[in-house]
Amino acid sequence: MSKQDDDVEKGLVERDYSNREYSVGEILRERGVSRRDFLKFCSAMTAAMALPVTFAPKVAQALDEVKRPPLVWLEFQDCAGDTEALLRSANPTVAEIVLDILSVDYHETIMAAAGHQAEAALEKTITDYKGKYLCVVEGAIPMKDGGVYGCVGGKSHLDRARQVCGGALATIAVGTCASYGGIPAAVPNPTGAVGVREAVPGATVINLPGCPVNADNLTATVVHYLVFGKIPALDGHGRPLFAYGKRIHDNCERRAHFDAGQYVEHWGDEGHRKGFCLYRMGCKGPATFHNCPTQRYNDKTSWPVGSGHGCAGCSEPAFWDTMGPLYKRLPNVPGFGIEHTADKIGIGLAAGAAAAFAVHGALNAIRKDKEPNDETREG
């Protein structure tokens, strides 16, 4: 702390907080977040985690008890889209809750410090809170040629990931790049880009793919950890079941049109205007696991299908190669939508994804022994 900060503390701050740490709930009230808004937030988080409504008081109680854990946010081969998603988060309001629930000690896009001072802030947190801080990773990690394709402060992304993710309580990979390599890992993967799980095999990693991540799912994951003291149950691709447990197709508001065989045939045609199924325009919803239809984006304003464009499949591993082209319909045209047909599509694509993974040398990501065992699930 600078001298000026000391002065501030000595001269201007009346209340002494130093004797004990305050809970998230207390801090929020201190910052002017009403109890009502706090409970509203708890309800939203309960819904995001796909928990029964009766859990909301438990979420509130737990948040009333937990302290503000430190979090560092690393950006590697990224576009900052996940950071921007965080800034758009509405449940809770972005600034208050993210600054108040957590102590975001390092985040290059928003932090005031730069250069050596920024580096020092990171070092301090990962040393002082070793094994206790949360790490969020945005962007892929280039493995090729000694990591020369990504450096910060003269240090390769790979070295930094090993150091920081390795010492974290848990790492949350936000977006498809950090989860599975994403766009830089698409064929021919010029820089040898991979996701965090593959770059740092020993770390506890939760994948929140999507392009970008839905910030509500990120907050819900953090809250899940704060409330239950363990990371949520994950699927075979390391994704929390509460957000990725169901196919888009299963929850789609246009599902009835699929079942009725009512499809959009041309952009702007009557079916398009009336909200018919986008399957024939290339929608990848039947093969994609994500809670977009229920969570939606930007304060629940909309989501791709809701605004007339098909799903791109962006939360699936290697979707850039296995789901494209964007406007090509999925194989095995089902005609009438019957459940087993959609299942077949899903299986077909999963096989395609596995093949692509093998091609990219990323087989580890789907190997059984890389899956979290019960111990890691317990956090």
Partner 1 sequence: MAKIVVDPITRIEGHLRIEAEVNNGRITDAWSSSTMFRGIEKILKGRDPRDAWFWTQRFCGVCTTVHSIASIRAVEDALKIKIPPNAQLIRNIIIGIQNVQDHVIHFYHLHALDWVDVTSALKADPAKTSALAASLSDWPNNSPAYFKSVQDKLKSFVASGRLGPFANAYWGHPAYKLPPEANLMATAHYLEALEWQKDVIRIHAILGSKNPHPQTFLVGGMSIPIDPDSQNALNADKLMEIKRLLKKAQDFVEKVYIPDLLAVASFYKEWAAIGGGVGNYLCYGEFPDAAGNQWLPQGAILGKDISKVLPLDQKKVAEYVDHSWFEYASGPEKGLHPWDGESEARYSGPKPPYEYLDTDKKYSWVKAPRYDEKAMEVGPLARVLVAYASGHKEAKAAVDLVLNKLGVGPEALFSTLGRTGARGIDCLLIARQTPTWLNELIANIAKGDYRIHANEKWDPSEWPAEASGYGWHEAPRGALGHWIKIKDQKILNYQAVVPSTWNASPRDARGQRGPYEAALVGTPLADPAQPLEILRTVHSFDPCLACAVHVVDATGNEVIKVKVS
Q: Binding of partner 1 at residue 53 (CB under 8 A)?
A: no
Strands 70-75 and 141-142 come out as unpaired
Closest CA to 212 of 321, 324, 315, 87: 315
Is the distance from CB of 109 to CB of 75 less than 8 angstroms? yes
Q: Binding of partner 1 at residue 379 (CB under 8 A)?
A: no
Which residue, 298 or 367, is less far from partner 1 as judged by CB? 298
Alpha-carbon torsion 162, 167, 170, 175, what sign? negative
- Residue ranges in 241-270 that form contacts with partner 1 under rule CB under 8 A: 266-268
For the chain, the residue count is: 379
Q: How far is the CB of 371 from partner 1 (least distance, A)?
A: 28
* CA-angle at 258, arms to 257 and 259, nearest 5°: 90
Q: Binding of partner 1 at residue 84 (CB under 8 A)?
A: yes
- Residue ranges in 172-201 that form contacts with partner 1 under rule CB under 8 A: 183-184, 186-191, 193
Is the distance from CB of 253 to CB of 305 less than 8 angstroms? yes
Is the distance from CB of 142 to CB of 189 less than 8 angstroms? no
Residue in 52, 131, 202, 325 binding partner 1, rule: CB under 8 A: 325
Q: Binding of partner 1 at residue 361 (CB under 8 A)?
A: no
Give residues with Cβ within 8 angstroms of 21, minimum separation 6: 67, 68
Q: How far is the CB of 55 from partner 1 (least distance, A)?
A: 27
The H or E element containing residue 105 is strand 103-107
Q: Binding of partner 1 at residue 288 (CB under 8 A)?
A: no
The alpha helices in 17-101, defined as continuous H runs, are: 24-30, 35-48, 56-65, 81-88, 94-101
Q: How many residues bind partner 1 (CB under 8 A)?
A: 111
Which residue, 157 or 255, is less far from partner 1 as judged by CB? 157
Which residue, 31 or 367, is less far from partner 1 as judged by CB? 31
Is the distance from CB of 119 to CB of 251 less than 8 angstroms? no
Q: Binding of partner 1 at residue 207 (CB under 8 A)?
A: no
Per-residue mark of binding to partner 1, 13-52 (x: CB under 8 A): x-xxxx---x----x--xxx--------------------
Which residue, 77 or 217, is less far from partner 1 as judged by CB? 77
Q: How far is the CB of 347 from partner 1 (least distance, A)?
A: 25
Q: How far is the CB of 291 from partner 1 (least distance, A)?
A: 13
Residue in 78, 198, 216, 316 binding partner 1, rule: CB under 8 A: 78
Which residue, 123 or 343, is less far from partner 1 as judged by CB? 123
Which residue, 57 or 261, is less far from partner 1 as judged by CB? 261
Q: Binding of partner 1 at residue 212 (CB under 8 A)?
A: yes
Which residue, 52 or 115, is less far from partner 1 as judged by CB? 115
Q: Binding of partner 1 at residue 352 (CB under 8 A)?
A: no
The H or E element containing residue 3 is helix 3-7
Q: Which two tokens stand for residue 141?
A: 């990690």
Which residue, 256 or 347, is less far from partner 1 as judged by CB? 256
Strands 141-142 and 193-194 come out as antiparallel
Cross-strand pairs, 263: 277
Is the distance from CB of 209 to CB of 314 less than 8 angstroms? yes
CA gap 309, 222 in Å, rounded: 30
Q: Binding of partner 1 at residue 110 (CB under 8 A)?
A: yes
Which residue, 26 or 371, is less far from partner 1 as judged by CB? 26
CA gap 71, 100 in Å, rounded: 11
Q: Binding of partner 1 at residue 297 (CB under 8 A)?
A: yes
